[in-house]
Amino acid sequence: DAEITQSPRHKITETGRQVTLACHQTWNHNNMFWYRQDLGHGLRLIHYSYGVHDTNKGEVSDGYSVSRSNTEDLPLTLESAASSQTSVYFCASSRTLGLAGSEDTQYFGPGTRLTVL
Amino acid sequence: ELKVEQNPLFLSMQEGKNYTIYCNYSTTSDRLYWYRQDPGKSLESLFVLLSNGAVKQEGRLMASLDTKARLSTLHITAAVHDLSATYFCAVDNNNDMRFGAGTRLTVKP
């Protein structure tokens, strides 16, 4: 069955370290998204990609980067982790989100809980 | 800037009762989503609403969209314990998805 996976599921790191969170989907979806979820804020969009070699900044992109070298993967990198980046991170994918009349929705991964000490 | 506001943020209801969750958003958009999240779990898509007047129903949940009022509602009919979860609405602003803060619903016997 097609799915979307994230790794690691839990990560503890120290301030200033570089961290990369993996996201892999087997639906062959063009669109992929990274969100962070914090209490009281719902989900906030970090970066998104419409396809290979395409990346776009979301609402809270400072301190994060992504690259898309293939359809299946969109890794999220924290260049220098900060305590403010302690959060739960969700990856999502969709086929044609945004096209007029499309009822496509986003499919979310299981999440990665990141703690920055 | 697109803002999405849900209310209430917390909702405790008794089984068998009806209630409505509201989702207001600040700019024009004709695409609205509802998701459910169980504690410690990921998000599950419930409804996609694409046009003014759209109404969708699944079991005890019914969602509607009024694009002129910039308002979506999620109506719960005869609540049961299994509906206890956090419900999020999200608005698509040219692929910049904005989520509400979520409504934590607890259904008590």
Q: Is the pLDDT of residue A22 over 80?
A: yes
pLDDT over 60 at A98, yes or no: no
Q: What average pLDDT does this structure show over B76-86?
A: 95
In this complex, which of A41, A50, A58 lies closest to B101 when CB atoms are compared?
A41
Please tell me what DSSP assigns to residue B40: T
Question: What is the token pair recorded at B2?
Answer: 């697109």
The H-or-E segment that residue A68 falls in is none
Q: Which of B25, B27, B35, B42 is the best substitution to test chain A (most A C-beta atoms within 10 A)?
A: B42
Determine contact: B88 vs chain A, CB below 8 A: yes
Residue A38 pLDDT: 93
Two structure tokens written together for A66: 């992504």
Q: Are A56 and A50 in contact (CB under 8 A)?
A: yes
Sign of CA dihedral A110, A85, B4, A91: negative
Mean pLDDT over A22-49 rounds to 92
Instruction: Give pLDDT tens digits for B54-74.
Output: 899 999 999 999 999 999 999
* Model confidence at A34: pLDDT above 90: yes
Indicate which of A34, A60, A106 best probes the interface with B, i.e. most B CBs within 10 Å of its own CB. Answer: A106
Q: Do A43 and B101 touch (CB under 8 A)?
A: no
Residue B34 pLDDT greater than 90, yes or no: yes
